[in-house]
Structure formats: C-alpha cells, structure tokens
Amino acid sequence: MNRKALRDIIEEGENFHVEFKLKFSSVEKIAKEMMAFANTKGGVLIFGVDDDGKVIGLESEKTESELIRQAAKDYCEPPLEYIEEFINLDNRELVVITVPESHLKPHRLQDYEKEFDINKALVYVRVNDKSVQASKEMIRVLKANTAGTALKKYTIGDVERTVFTYLEKNEYITVTQLTELANISYRRAGRTLVKLIRAGLLMIHTQPNTEDRFSAIPPE
C-alpha cells in the first residue's frame, strides 16, 4: 500500500472495512478485530492512528508486529492469514495489517477444543464500524457458506409460511418473534431462519447488543 492510498483510507475514517488502533491493547482484543474482518468481508487494521484519524505513530513497530503474529496464529482457530506493512506517514511509523476475507470461516478464539462447539465457540464478525460476537444463527450461516451447502430444494411448511406472512407487514423478524408466532422452540425457530437463508429466501442482519434480524430478499 502506498502512502497516498493509506492517507485516503485514514481520511475516510473507521468503517466496515477499516479499524484504527492508537496502540496495541491486548493480544485477545486484536485477535477479535482481525477475526471479525476474516469472518466478514476482509479489512484493514491500522496501528498508530487515533479514533479520530489523527496520525500518532508507534514507538516500537517491531514489538507490535510480534504481538500481531501471536494474535493471528496463536489466538485464532484456524490461524489467520494477513499482510503486514510498515509505512512512514508524516514522519511517524505505522503498522498496517490487511486481513483478507477467509475461505475457512468461521474463525473462533482459540479454545483448544478438538471440534467446533457452537455453544462454546467465540466467533466475531464485522458490523458497521465495530467487531461484535456472532450469534449461533450467524455462525451456522458462516459454516454453511464455507461448506457451499446452499439448499436448492427446500419444502415450505407452516412455520416458513408464518415467517413470510409476518414479513409481508413487517420489515424484519427475529428468532424470538418466530418462537412466539409459531409456538415452537427457540432452537427450531433459529434453524428454520438459517435454512431460509441457505435457500436464498432471507438475509441476516447482525446488530451490536441486540438480537439478529432477518428480512426477505427483494425479488429481482
């Protein structure tokens, strides 16, 4: 990345694909940020820049580099791939980490479990300009997308019809709402909505500190 491209990114501010870090906070926190980019659409993590976009620089970019390596390799399962660059901007040293969208989703915080346990795994995704913990429904969607297991034939039953009837008058539906509307378990409601996503009939919207919302995909 050249200096002009980096300056343009910084001037645009933090967003879905960009996160600023004034300095390295903790290995686990940085692992969550990098993982969120990998589990979503990729992004850039810039060390040495304040939240408001002010270029401050780093005292020891080599130290930051080793901690970043730990975050990606030792704190994420599977380990993350990334590109690291040291760039001098306004006579200040920055570390720029580019994390591509992963083909091994979902990445989770290292828990040393042999198998992925959806009830224990801590998975993070990018929402707007924040990294947030993924719901079980989002994790199932990530797993299905990685495996390429879209549902080509899916029978619409009473529960599914309840979803579409509700969405005719409302923009979104949640797992809790479907549980109450269809008088079914929370688990079944969640799995039903995930299957409708895999069938290409719904999309999921993750929100910080609130329940995921599901909406119908508009007809082309």
* Domain end position, chosen among 85, 102, 129: 129
In this prediction, residues 170-184 reach a mean pLDDT of 95
Q: pLDDT, tens digit, for every residue of 1-42?
A: 888 999 999 999 999 999 999 877 789 999 999 999 999 999
Choose the final residue of a domain: 129, 149, 177.
129
For 34, 56, 147, the CA distances from 38, given in Å and listed in that order, are 6, 26, 16
Please determine, for residue 196, whether its predicted confidence score (pLDDT) is greater than 80. yes
Please indicate, yes or no, if residue 70 is contained in any of the structural domains.
yes
Residue ranges making up the domain that contains 205: 141-216
Residues 22 and 120 in one domain: yes
161 and 183 in a single domain? The answer is yes
Q: Is residue 162 part of a domain?
A: yes
Residues 7 and 76 in one domain: yes
Phi-psi region of 153 (alpha: psi -120 to 50; beta: other; left: phi over 0): beta
